[in-house]
A and B are shown apart, each in its own frame.
Chain A
């Protein structure tokens, strides 16, 4: 028995133009796809990569950073307007780590040194320093805002 929510009220063919377009798209993707699968070590590894990156993103990376963001909002409590002061440097630092992970983590350090003649030691240090600057800058902005808010607040009348 299939749950009702999985079934549309009325299953139709849909737009014929859309069908033609998608058929054309699948044909081209198929033409390139057989070549893609013939090029790798083994075809199933390429399929695994193609589908795997999508699943890894949709079912691991996205839920993880969403959960981290919800935890941040929860921790902020009533001071929701402060969330961005943590979110912005965290997102920027995280993006740099995501893109340059092989260099920052040092996992390619040996090959990098041999190929380019330069040491990969600096990448981790530079990323940490950028991260420190981002959070410090954000903290300064928050302090400035808090000070301004304190000054503008009318004196308490007794």
Chain B
């Protein structure tokens, strides 16, 4: 008889909730949820157009891991708002499911013998990548959206390469376990009582999770699952609002860009990096000093803000959608079309552009835009938002705003635009 005080003894684990049904339900939820998160995560990387220019690429050593990259489209205008909103909101929502899943299988961590076969030994090593990878991805993601940059290095490579390490283990785990999980759920749905299914033969996958000496229950399995679902629902309703506006944003009580707006009036919508944070000196952006330098096939043109106002002005209704998962609804921007600026320096056909901010330090003060983005009639060098001059925090004197792209590519405080093939 093994010592029940040791976690390696099955009798140490006494919760009557553990068992194949509980683990299988959570596993199937994570199978769908994490797959969707992985796909939306890869999509987000593609949305930066990293293969266009090194300034857009935070993981230049990706090798074959960027095999799927494609030219990011410039529509529909809400595209990145949707994909990244799903990525972040779903991630926050799945935290209780992940924790419950890990709780449900923790007896296996201590199970002896440590390995029954070579394959089993390797599977347990793979579980370190699976569990460590899942927690690493969730932790770095949750910290990053709260601006808590305590992880060792830049967020992008950690989260991107970490995702691939995790996903490698996740696929192996899913292939090995999904058939048993689905069998378990079918068996339960077919009306087999849980007790018979779990206490019985001990041949089905997950049966060893059932405590041989269960404590008196304080909650049913359904009740426990309800608690996990309730936790997810609470996180969802207190987070999702940061992708919406008005009273709905107020419902995101604890999300970083929920609650309220940073101010009122035309510029009173969410800001990713303020002018103060970016170190923008108001003397550099004033009317006397600031000039936009356009470079292209026919040479260089320098324009003041007054010069820009003489050019044909157009309006676009476009959202701001951040990699951190929050977004605003459409704002009404007014400015000069990017393709008109390209034409000023000799590019009548849409062409790539490198946009540089007057910001001197910090990530993404330069961004490369692809020809399809430059050519889109909705893409502007905006001078006004919601009928007023841009505020300093929204990029005065001029900022890029284009449809469907991640917020950081909409460069603020633009100083220089270089048109031409970037590759």
Contact = CB atoms under 8 A, between A and B. Distances in A.
B136 A29 contact: no
B146 interface: yes
Determine chain B's interface SS by DSSP, over half rule.
helix
A94 to B, nearest CB: 9
B29 interface: no
B287 interface: no
Contacts of A41: 152-153
Nearest to A104: B254
Contact of B59 (A13, A39, A102, A123): A39
Contacts of A116: 256-257, 262, 270-272, 274
B143 A15 contact: no
Nearest to B260: A118
B221 to A, nearest CB: 13
A18 B119 contact: yes
B95 to A, nearest CB: 6
A112 B63 CA distance: 35
Interface string B155-171: 00110011011001101
A21 B178 CA distance: 14
Given A26-B126, A73-B218, A102-B148, A46 B158 contact: yes
A98 B95 contact: yes
A21 B175 contact: yes
A82 to B, nearest CB: 9
Given A11-B117, A29-B129, A29-B168, A50 B162 contact: yes
B195 interface: no
A14 B118 contact: yes
A107 B277 CA distance: 17
A67 to B, nearest CB: 13
A108 B147 CA distance: 7
Interface stretch (B77-85, B181-189, B226-234, B396-404): B226-234
A116 B154 CA distance: 20
A35 B176 contact: no
Given A28-B168, A107-B148, A108-B147, A14 B95 contact: no
B284 to A, nearest CB: 19
A83 B227 CA distance: 13
Contact of B65 (A35, A83, A102): A35
B120 interface: yes
Size bin of chain B's contact surface? 35 or more
Contacts of B129: 25, 29
A56 to B, nearest CB: 8
B113 A7 contact: yes
Contacts of A95: 95-96, 231, 234-235
B24 to A, nearest CB: 19
Contacts of B257: 116
Interface in B208-250: 215-216, 218-219, 223, 227, 230-231, 234-235, 238
A23 B215 CA distance: 40
Interface stretch (B33-41, B102-110, B291-299, B344-352): B102-110
Given A24-B172, A33-B161, A115-B274, 7 more contacts: A19-B119, A26-B122, A54-B131, A73-B218, A115-B271, A115-B273, A116-B257
17 contacts: A5-B8, A5-B112, A5-B113, A8-B116, A13-B118, A18-B119, A26-B125, A32-B168, A33-B161, A39-B161, A50-B136, A53-B136, A87-B227, A98-B95, A100-B146, A108-B147, A116-B271
Interface of B: 2, 8, 59, 61-65, 92, 95-96, 99, 102-103, 106, 109, 112-120, 122-123, 125-126, 128-129, 131-133, 135-136, 139, 142-143, 146-148, 151-154, 157-158, 161-162, 164-165, 168-169, 171-172, 175-176, 215-216, 218-219, 223, 227, 230-231, 234-235, 238, 253-257, 259-260, 262-263, 270-274, 276-277, 393
Closest 5 CB pairs of A and B: A14-B119, A39-B157, A14-B117, A32-B164, A40-B153
